[in-house]
Structure 1
Amino acid sequence: MSKKKILLNAFNMNCVGHINHGLWTHPRDQSKDYRKLSYWTDLAKLLERGLFDGLFIADIVGVYDVYQESVDLTLKESVQLPVNDPLMLVSAMAAVTQHLGFGVTVNLTYEAPYLLARRFSTLDHLTEGRIGWNIVTGYLDSAARAMGLTEQIAHDERYDRADEYLDVTYKLWEGSWEDDAVLRDRNARVFADPQKVHKVSHRGRYYSVEGYHLSEPSPQRTPVLFQAGSSGRGQAFAIRHAECVFVSSQSKEGTRKLVDALRKQAAEAGRDPADLKVFMGITVVVGRTTAEAEEKFAEYASHASAEAGLTHFAAGSGIDYSKFDLDDELEPPGGHKSRGIESSVQRVTDGKSGWTVRRLLDQLKLGGRFTTIVGDPVQVADALESWMDETGVDGFNLTRTVTPESYEDFIDLVIPELQARGVYKTAYADGTLREKLFNRGAKLPDEHTGASFRRKNAV
């Protein structure tokens, strides 16, 4: 029986410091050039050479101002600040590639669904069906204040709003234009058949939309849907909407439990569990030999900033860890319920694992908290296969360390080893991003909730 092929995204962000913080100070790192279009087009061509399934582009709205109650360290170490718009990168990268997919993060809390639906349809057209949407609801109070709110919307309510938001976009993407609405008939002077283009009327608790989708049907209609919530409410949202789920864990046991729970819930909701692809965040430092890899890791770590990583983590949890002594066991201050990333808070304040600031800083020695694999190509491939086999994940979101060096090393050293083992593709499949990932049609499958909004339920 052939082994399951590893799916692989590059995990990046339109900024200097993304996950592994402080490495912008490394003399070979080029992340300061994130403002240049060539930085992104060169990256896209590199990733396509490595047969990556996609480039997963993170984003935030707001700034990390929880740690020390300021943005000082955030600015000094460029902890996702400054950060530019991710969607504007896609067209240029699509123009220099043929197969690479693009999973782009957009925070729906601060975007009108009517216009965002058009932007994704536009990108789906321009990429010929290679666009995906990483759906986020936000977690930063700084973003809420910048967007005119007094504080962040409560965690579960953000997902309630998101459920309705997706209903609106499904109506626009799936139901407003019929498949054969566009005729392009010059002789009859009919570009689109008015009888096959339908007004969407939505009156809900959070959104009110009446109008026609502004874009004709794109190759995928609905972009491939990514989502990263692992709280109970986040999982419920994923089961209804997500096609790809992004998880971050340091433990195989914890990852396996989460993957099993997601697939079980998917089956109970009437979905094929195989229609839910799970990607795990991971960092790899590879060398031609074990010694070379370990030397490279030590070199990288000497430039990394654990405190910058703690600044990032503090923003996600909503807890200012600068107020803790190094060896204090972590608990949410005052026992309040965080409005940040619930799973991040629970992971270090469960009262069982003995997390302290000192332990956090030790884990952040490369500037980030993702599971890190260090070794030669065989050791890295062994580790990746082990994570696949023991947790049930479908692939990985590979973070950058020193860029683009870390991606070049992975492509030149690890990819051939994985291909030799038969666990990584040797050529791209044809078709859209959804077809490549799932080996099925370009559109949402019939059992997906979005399919229920096709023509019969669109008006």
Structure 2
Amino acid sequence: MSKPRQMILNAFDMNCAGHINHGLWSHPRDRSAEFGSLDYWVNLARVAERGLFDAIFIADIAGVYDVYKGSPAPSLLTGAQVPVNDPLLVVPTMAYATQNIGFGVTVSTSYEHPYILARRLSTLDHLTGGRVGWNIVTGYVDSAARGVGRDAQIDHDTRYDIADEFLDVAYKLWETSWDDDALLVDRERRIFADPDKVRPVRHQGEHYRVDAIHMCAPSPQRTPVLFQAGSSTRGRRFAARHAECVFTFGPTPAANRSVVREIREEAVRAGRDPYDIRVIVSQSLVVGRTRKEAEEKLADYRAHASIEGALAHFSSSTGIDFAKFDLDEPIPYVKNDANNSAVEAITTRSAQVWTVRKIIDSIVLGSRVPPFVGSAEEVADHLESWVDDADVDGFNLPRTVTPECLEDFVDLVVPILQERGRFKREYAPGPLRQKLFGHPRLAAPHYGARLRDAARVADGAAARSVA
């Protein structure tokens, strides 16, 4: 009899007061408004590591939500992901306070240059001992584009084309610029690095031109673990080439299973094993020792939830200003340059016709996706059913009232999952990729590994011709 499938667990957070479940920062026990304090992040990391979580996944957005009612005012009033601080800067402190937990950081390819970002992520990988992952996003709000001097963001599919080339450059910098043994630190001979084992990356593409040596020596993973959250048609193609972990937001196992199947089918078309990609679904939870206790918590939390914050967030995610619709007017599919998978979720991928009233009715804790509420045993059953019925590999658990939501899960649910063989009892050794996949660096047939191996073949051929 085969062993039950063990799940990946990530604490899902953001460097702001309002992340997924809007308005809950106003709860008297919630500490998320302290996100500017290092103590907040150290406590989060220590609790998550005590629960053997795989990673703390830190979301991010460039720009502010200003589609709803044509203004940023609803977002500012409700704290819907604004103000928001940089996700990378809190990682070293959390890493110093822990030993094993990983860190997934979100950075957009639309507002960075690969040469600069490659150094920042390599630096984080060095400082954390190889515990960094990069959540690759392309952005979806026009306010970010205006912030960097553009009239509007680049169209949806072209953003992914640019991101493909961005990754090409990043792989070359991380994987090919330095040999593993290039860094000598030889005090006797006074040689720090061997110049013969360091080479410039030369890339001439449609969007980027690079002729430079990577500024960092090889980090423990070289390339950080690659996360990606787009499940639109173009996003799935991107994931098949690059992603090692993909995040989805399906409302039910049945609805999510078709998305998972398409992601795995795309991976096969890209020459990869379908299970080389770990699929992780977002699940908001309210857990108690009994169902009654959980329901009492829900009622308590719900009094602080913000419908306006949820609508401000969802309007910008979809690029649709829901304030312009009558309450019972059907919401049509319109392809735009926002988050296409969010639009598809309430139109082409939905069995029901969505209206603003239905969206409002679905907002329980300041998010369009209702939480699962139950005893610790019921929550464990729920997560197991998702793994088995939706073919997912694990979960991103967004905060409700923090830190008690994470503490409740760690203290009440994790022991049950461990007892059932569904979750690990100790951390595996090594970097984050080693813990998740059994190897510390990109391995064939991943596209980045193929680029690396092709560069090595070319380098060897050039050396032989010189000789």
**Superposed pair shares fold, TM > 0.5:** yes
Superposition pairs of residues 87-166 of structure 1, within 5 angstroms: 87-166=88-167
SS where residue 283 of structure 2 aligns? strand
Runs of 4 or more, structure 1, over 6 Å off, are none
Instruction: Tell me how far apart the structure 1 counterparts of residues 455 and 128 of structure 2 sit (CA, whole Å).
Output: 28
State the identity %: 56
1:137-174 C-alpha deviation (Å, 9 max, x unpaired): 00001111111111110000000000000000000000
Alignment-mate amino acid for residue 188 of structure 1: R
Note the C-alpha offset of 1:299: 1.1
Paired residue for 1:174? 175
Note the C-alpha offset of 1:456: 4.8
Paired residue for 2:462? none
Alignment-mate amino acid for residue 271 of structure 1: R
Note the C-alpha offset of 1:274: 2.0
Superposition pairs of residues 26-425 of structure 1, within 5 angstroms: 26-331=27-332, 336-350=334-348, 353-370=352-369, 372-425=371-424
Paired residue for 1:445? 443
SS where residue 172 of structure 1 aligns? helix
Instruction: Tell me how far apart the structure 1 counterparts of residues 344 and 274 of structure 2 sit (CA, whole Å).
Output: 26
1:260-310 C-alpha deviation (Å, 9 max, x unpaired): 121122123221222100100010100111111011111111110122111
Conserved 8 A contact 2:364-2:371: no
Instruction: Tell me how far apart the structure 1 counterparts of residues 13 and 358 of structure 2 sit (CA, whole Å).
Output: 26
Report how many residues are paired. 455
State the TM-score, normalized to the length of structure 2: 0.95
Conserved 8 A contact 1:307-1:361: no
SS where residue 268 of structure 2 aligns? helix
Instruction: Tell me how far apart the structure 2 counterparts of residues 122 and 16 of structure 1 sit (CA, whole Å).
Output: 27
Unpaired stretches in structure 1, ≥5 consecutive residues:
none
Alignment-mate amino acid for residue 378 of structure 1: E
Note the C-alpha offset of 1:201: 0.7
Moved more, 181-190 or 124-133: 181-190
State the TM-score, normalized to the length of structure 1: 0.97
Conserved 8 A contact 2:289-2:412: yes
SS where residue 346 of structure 1 aligns? helix
Moved more, 256-265 or 393-402: 256-265
Conserved 8 A contact 1:178-1:455: no
1:102-152 C-alpha deviation (Å, 9 max, x unpaired): 000001111111010000100000100000000000000111111111111
Moved more, 138-147 or 363-372: 363-372
Conserved 8 A contact 1:17-1:24: yes
Note the C-alpha offset of 1:349: 2.9
Conserved 8 A contact 1:277-1:394: yes
SS where residue 13 of structure 2 aligns? strand
Note the C-alpha offset of 1:12: 0.3
1:301-350 C-alpha deviation (Å, 9 max, x unpaired): 11101221111000011111011111111125xxx531101111122233
Unpaired stretches in structure 2, ≥5 consecutive residues:
460-467
Instruction: Tell me how far apart the structure 2 counterparts of residues 37 and 397 of structure 1 sit (CA, whole Å).
Output: 22
- RMSD, matched Cα: 1.2
Note the C-alpha offset of 1:397: 0.1
Instruction: Tell me how far apart the structure 2 counterparts of residues 147 and 413 of structure 1 sit (CA, whole Å).
Output: 46
SS where residue 35 of structure 1 aligns? coil
SS where residue 253 of structure 1 aligns? helix
Instruction: Tell me how far apart the structure 2 counterparts of residues 352 and 280 of structure 1 sit (CA, whole Å).
Output: 20
